[in-house]
C-alpha cells in the first residue's frame, strides 16, 4: 500500500465558465484555483446518464452522486427505475400496489398520494403521480386525495401553481359520478413533512397534523391557499406554510381508518421520517401523533434497505453491490468518514450503496457533526470548521488509509437562492481546504478534491425578455464538477477521456496501490 488517500466532496460546487450568478466563479478561492491549475486536474460529469438518470438533461443530486462515488459503477436510479416500472406496467402488477388498492376497496376508503409536486426529477416527478391516479380510476378506486408538498428548490422558486393547475386539470378530466379526486392539503418542502436525518422532527409533526388530521389553515383550494399565503408572507414555494383544503369548513381529505397512503417520492433521505411515523405502530416517540389511523402505507421505493423502511414499496431500489467500502474492508483498510448532519448520510449510507450499517465496525469509523437548525443563508459557514477539525485529527492520527468528508455549504446555501450567502459558503469551503492541504502535506497523504453535482455555480437565470429581471435559481445545475489530486505519487497524471463520478472509486484504490474490481469503471489517472 502507498500513502493514505483523503477525499473531500465539496457538495454542490460545479465547475464551469458559464456565468448565471456563478458563485463559484466569482468567489475568492485560492485553494481551489491552485488545485485546478497547478496539480493534476480535470472536470468530470455528475449528472444525467453518467449517474444513472434517464437523460443528460436530468440534474444530478447528492444521493446518486454519492452512490456513484462510493461504488464505482452506474446504476439505474430513482426516476429511471420508476419510469421503467410504469412503462412496463410492472409497478401495477406489484404485490404492494395490489394490496393498497384492495385495502381501499375492502374498507370503502380513500387512496392518498403524498409527495413533492413538481417535475424536478430529484425527489419525484408529477408524471409518476398522474400515472398512479389514472390507474386508480381504471381499477375502480372511487376516492383519491393528493397531499402536495411544494418544491421551489429543484424547480423555479415560485412555480407551484403550474403543477397545481396541471394536476387539477387531470382531476377535471377524470372526475365523474364514480370517481372523485382532489388536492387535500399541502405546504412547502422545507416547512412540513420532508425533514431528513432526524434534524427537525417538528417538520414531520406539522405535516402529520396537516395531512392526517386536517389540522391547519383552511382554504377552498390549493391555488387559493398558495395565493393567499404568498401575499401574507412573500414566501417562495419551499417555505410556504402548511394548508388544508376544505369544503364548508370540513377538510376534504383527512387520512382515516381504511385508507391507503402512498408516498410517491422516489428519493429516500426526505422520505424516511414520515415513513417511520406511518409504519411504527408501537414505541414511536419522535412526536405525539394524536391520531394514528389504521392505513395501508407504502413508498415508491424502499428508502432504507437495511432498516426496511417502509415495509411496503412499489418499485425495487437499485441493488448496489461491490462498493468501495466493502472492497477496502476486505483489504483490511481502515477508513474514516465525517460530515455534519445535513450530509452525514451521504458519506455513509449513500456512499455504502444505500446501506445504513457499516461493513466492519473495527475498520470503519464514522463521525457526525450536528447541524444547526437555522436557515442556511443566515449561517453560510455552517459546520465547516468542526468538520475540518475532525478531518485534521483523523489525518494526523496515522490510523486511517482512506479518509473522506463532505462540506455541504455549496449545496445547502445554494438552495436558498441567496447569492451573497452562497459566495460565503463557497469561500468557507476553500478556506477549510487550506487546512486539509496543509495536514495532507505534513502527513504525506494524497488528497482528492471533487464535488457530487453542481448548484452554487448557477444562482440565477434571465427572464424571457431582455428587460425582465433575473430570477433566483435554487436547483442543482448540469455543470461538470472539479476533480484534482494534490500531493499524489510522483508522476500522477490524468488520462484523456470523458469521465464521471463513477470513475473516482477506481482512482482511489489505484492511489492506494490496489487493482480495481472488474465491476468498476476505470480510473481517471494513468
Higher-confidence position of 198 and 442: 442
Domain extent listing, the chain: 5-76+319-511, 79-315
Mean pLDDT of the residues in the chain: 95
* Tens of pLDDT, residues 347-386: 999 999 989 899 999 999 999 999 999 999 999 999 999 9
pTM attached to this predicted model: 0.76
Q: Is 99 exposed, middle or buried (0-12, 13-18, 19+ CB in 10 A)?
A: middle
Catalytic residue (choose from 27, 47, 62, 275): 62
User: 264, 118 in Cβ contact below 8 A?
Assistant: no
Same fold, 5-76+319-511 and 79-315: no
Q: How confident is the model at residue 305 (pLDDT cuts 50, 70, 90)?
A: low
Q: Crossing angle for the helix pair 272-279 and 201-211, nearest 10 degrees?
A: 60
**Average pLDDT of span 508-519:** 97
pLDDT at 51 exceeding the cut of 90: yes
* Tens of pLDDT, residues 173-217: 999 999 999 999 999 999 999 998 788 999 999 999 999 999 999
150 φ, ψ (degrees, to nearest 5): -90, 140
CATH architecture assigned to 5-76+319-511: 3-Layer(aba) Sandwich (3.40)
Is 124 in the active site? no
Query: For position 308, what pLDDT does the model report?
Result: 82
Angle at 439 between CA 434 and CA 445, to 5 degrees: 115
Could you give the CA distance from residue 298 to residue 68 in angstroms, rounded to a whole number?
A: 27
Alpha-helical runs (H) found in 380-470: 384-397, 409-412, 419-443
Name the pairing type of β-strands 335-340 and 364-369. parallel
Q: How confident is the model at residue 316 (pLDDT cuts 50, 70, 90)?
A: confident
CATH architecture assigned to 79-315: 3-Layer(aba) Sandwich (3.40)
CA distances from 388 to 349, 368, 384, 391, 503 (A): 21, 12, 6, 5, 26
Amino acid at each position: 500500500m502507498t500513502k493514505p488517500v483523503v477525499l473531500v466532496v465539496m457538495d454542490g460546487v460545479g465547475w464551469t465558465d458559464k456565468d448565471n450568478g456563478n458563485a463559484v466563479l466569482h468567489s475568492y478561492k485560492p485553494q481551489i484555483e491552485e488545485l485546478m491549475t497547478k496539480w493534476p486536474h480535470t472536470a468530470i460529469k455528475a449528472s444525467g446518464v453518467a449517474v444513472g438518470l434517464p437523460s443528460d438533461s436530468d440534474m444530478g443530486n447528492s444521493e446518486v452522486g454519492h452512490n456513484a462515488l462510493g461504488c464505482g459503477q452506474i446504476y439505474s436510479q430513482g426516476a429511471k427505475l420508476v419510469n421503467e416500472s410504469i412503462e412496463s406496467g410492472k409497478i401495477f402488477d406489484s404485490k404492494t400496489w395490489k394490496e393498497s388498492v384492495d385495502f381501499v376497496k375492502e374498507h370503502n376508503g380513500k387512496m392518498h398520494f403524498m409527495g413533492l409536486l413538481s417535475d424536478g426529477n430529484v425527489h419525484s416527478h408529477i408524471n409518476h403521480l398522474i400515472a398512479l391516479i389514472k390507474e386508480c380510476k381504471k381499477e375502480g378506486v372511487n376516492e383519491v386525495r393528493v397531499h402536495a408538498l411544494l418544491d421551489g428548490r429543484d424547480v423555479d422558486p415560485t412555480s407551484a401553481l403550474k403543477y397545481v393547475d396541471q394536476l387539477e386539470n387531470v382531476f377535471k378530466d377524470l372526475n365523474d359520478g364514480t370517481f372523485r379526486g382532489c388536492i387535500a392539503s399541502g405546504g412547502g418542502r422545507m416547512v412540513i413533512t420532508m425533514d431528513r436525518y432526524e434534524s427537525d422532527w417538528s417538520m414531520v409533526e406539522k405535516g402529520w397534523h396537516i395531512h392526517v388530521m386536517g389540522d391547519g389553515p383552511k382554504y377552498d383550494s390549493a391555488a387559493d391557499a398558495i395565493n393567499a399565503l404568498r401575499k401574507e408572507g412573500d414566501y417562495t414555494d419551499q417555505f410556504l406554510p402548511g394548508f388544508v383544503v376544505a369544503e364548508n369548513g370540513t377538510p376534504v381529505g383527512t387520512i382515516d381508518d381504511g385508507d391507503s397512503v402512498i408516498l410517491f417520492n422516489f428519493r429516500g433521505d426526505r422520505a424516511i421520517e414520515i415513513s417511520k411515523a406511518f409504519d411504527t405502530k408501537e414505541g414511536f416517540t419522535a412526536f405525539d401523533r394524536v391520531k394514528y389511523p389504521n392505513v395501508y402505507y407504502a413508498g415508491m421505493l424502499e428508502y432504507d434497505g437495511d432498516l426496511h423502511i417502509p415495509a411496503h414499496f412499489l418499485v425495487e431500489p437499485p441493488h448496489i453491490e461491490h462498493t468501495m467500502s466493502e472492497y477496502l474492508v476486505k483489504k483490511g483498510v481502515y477508513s474514516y468518514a465525517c460530515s455534519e448532519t445535513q450530509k452525514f448520510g451521504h458519506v455513509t449510507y449513500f456512499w455504502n450503496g444505500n446501506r445504513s450499517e457499516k461493513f466492519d465496525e473495527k475498520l470503519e469509523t464514522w463521525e457526525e457533526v450536528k447541524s444547526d437548525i437555522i436557515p442556511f443563508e443566515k449561517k453560510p459557514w455552517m459546520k465547516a470548521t468542526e468538520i475540518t477539525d475532525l478531518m485534521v485529527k483523523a489525518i494526523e492520527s496515522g490510523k486511517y488509509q482512506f479518509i473522506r468528508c463532505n462540506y455541504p455549504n455549496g449545496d445547502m446555501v445554494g438552495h436558498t437562492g441567496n447569492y451573497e450567502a452562497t459566495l460565503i459558503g463557497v469561500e468557507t469551503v476553500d478556506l477549510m481546504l487550506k487546512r486539509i492541504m496543509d495536514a495532507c502535506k505534513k502527513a504525506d497523504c494524497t488528497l482528492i478534491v471533487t464535488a457530487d453535482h453542481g448548484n452554487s455555480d448557477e444562482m440565477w437565470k434571465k427572464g424571457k425578455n431582455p428587460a425582465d429581471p433575473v430570477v433566483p435559481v435554487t436547483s442543482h445545475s448540469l455543470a461538470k464538477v472539479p476533480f484534482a489530486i494534490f500531493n499524489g505519487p510522483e508522476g500522477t497524471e490524468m488520462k484523456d477521456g470523458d469521465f464521471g463520478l463513477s470513475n473516482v472509486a477506481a482512482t482511489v484504490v489505484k492511489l492506494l496501490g490496489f487493482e480495481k474490481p472488474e465491476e468498476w469503471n476505470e480510473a481517471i489517472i494513468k
